[in-house]
Chains A and B, each alone.
Chain A
């Protein structure tokens, strides 16, 4: 008896058995989740998570126009702060100078 050859009745029986097997319902979004996992697995992992934004930041600054603009902003900011502080100090010095001329320190002590 040849066991490999299937009788038509066996084929019908197999079909009936396949239909009778209950397939559980998949959770919603199951297929998307599977694809996402596949994509993640295929993508090469970065050596350090911050590497991407560091590269992006360096590339952003390396454009000459942006680098000069940033330098100019820093320069103006430093100059403004220096002048503001210097003006305060200069005012105090000018005040002391006037006071020393009309009321010598020896008199005030």
Chain B
């Protein structure tokens, strides 16, 4: 009986080791696949079931958008440094700090406008249903964050003034 118990225990431990090892291997295989693709647009193709022609158009739009996006981001980063310096110098809210804050906000708004324009262009390169879904998802992911904060601050769960 004791020998049987030991045999079963050894088998159970081996089973757990095999299951855990193969589970980790499965996870690793997926991670390898993702790393091997190295494509920023891999998710788009899979999620919205896009064909080669659609992907080619979207890739063209994406590559055209990226330099503008990087340029805007660099401008925002530089302006944020200026704002921080103005805030560090001042004891309170000075006209200079207020001016820098307005400039950062204006740059962000311009960047968001470019981004939304790009999303519209990409959505039009997709089949209509998928395009609508893409647009809704992108707006939720990129603009929803601010709505969430504003709703939390105003104590209102419904979005009455969420369109900026």
A residues adjacent to B (C-beta < 8 A): 47-48, 51, 54-55, 57-59, 61-62, 67, 70-71, 74-87, 89-91, 93-95, 97-99, 101-104, 106-109
Interface centre among B5, B26, B142 (most CB of A within 10 A): B26
- B residues lining the A interface (CB < 8 Å): 1, 3-5, 7-8, 11, 14-15, 18-31, 33-34, 37, 40-44, 46-47, 62, 65-66, 69, 73, 76-77, 108, 111-112, 115, 118-119, 138, 141-142, 145
Q: Given that A47-B1, A61-B11 are known contacts, is A75 also in contact with B26, CB under 8 Å in the complex?
A: no
3 closest A-B pairs by beta carbon, nearest first, are: A82-B26, A86-B30, A78-B22
CA A67 to CA B47, docked complex, whole Å: 41
Residue in chain B with minimal CB distance to A109: B145
**Judging by beta carbons under 8 Å apart, are A97 and B43 in contact?**
yes
Q: Chain A's interface: helix, strand, loop or mixed, by majority?
A: helix
The reply to whether B26 and A83 contact each other, CB–CB distance below 8 Å, is: yes
A90 to chain B: which residues have CB within 8 Å? Answer: 30-31, 33-34
| Given known A87-B30, A90-B31, A95-B43, contact A78–B73 (CB-CB < 8 A) | no
Q: Are B41 and A98 in contact (CB under 8 A)?
A: yes
Taking the closest CB of chain A, its distance from the CB of B32, in whole angstroms, is: 9
Given the contacts A78-B20, A82-B26, A103 and B142 also touching, CB distance less than 8 Å = yes
Q: Chain B binding site: helix, strand, loop or mixed by DSSP?
A: helix
Which residues of chain A are within 8 angstroms of B26 by Cβ–Cβ distance? 78-86
Q: Which residue of A lies closest to B19 (CB)?
A: A78
Distance in Å: Cβ of B34 to nearest Cβ of chain A: 4
Known contacts: A90-B33, A91-B46, A95-B47. The answer to whether A103 contacts B115 by CB under 8 A is yes
Given contacts A54-B5, A101-B66, A106-B76, are A86 and B31 in contact (CB under 8 A)?
A: yes
Residues on the A chain within 8 Å of B65, using CB: 102
A91 to B108, CA, bound (A): 28
CA distance A61 to B33 in the complex (A): 37
27 contacts between A and B (CB under 8 A): A54-B1, A54-B4, A54-B5, A55-B4, A58-B4, A58-B5, A62-B7, A74-B15, A74-B18, A74-B22, A75-B18, A76-B22, A78-B26, A79-B26, A82-B23, A82-B24, A82-B28, A83-B29, A86-B26, A86-B27, A86-B30, A90-B31, A90-B34, A91-B43, A98-B40, A107-B73, A107-B111
B69 touching A104, Cβ below 8 Å: yes
Residues of B within 8 Å of A93, CB to CB, are 34
Interface pair B4/A94, CB less than 8 Å apart:
no
